[in-house]
Amino acid sequence: MASEAEKGRGKASEAEKGKDKDKANWDPKAHEIWVNVFVAEVRAGDRIGTIFSKKGWKNVVANFNAATGRDYNIKQLKNRLDNLRKECAMGIFMG
């Protein structure tokens, strides 16, 4: 009879299967769409101070995914914002 370790060998765990979903691909077109969706939501006023409300983030996710045909989640889009903020703070944002 095979042990639990042997049974699981060669098979991806549930956490590993979802791991690729966490890595978003930010090509120039996706970046441009993200910026446009983000700006539109800022103009719509769905913010609390300097952050989006839950409704605002839902709109950003829905509009970005509709425009790109991708299936990114809120975590991926928030990570993009955080990374752009870091780039701007470091002075390496080029565009």
> What is the domain partition of the chain in residue ranges?
26-90
CA angle (64, 70, 71) in 5-degree steps: 90
pLDDT digit string, tens, across residues 67-81: 999 999 999 999 998
pLDDT digit string, tens, across residues 30-58: 999 999 999 999 999 888 888 888 999 99
Q: Which residues on neighbouring strands pair with residue 51, listed in sequence order? A: 48
CA 34, 87, 78, 70 torsion-angle sign:
positive
Of 21, 66, 20, 13, the closest CA to residue 40 belongs to: 66
Mean pLDDT along residues 11-20:
46
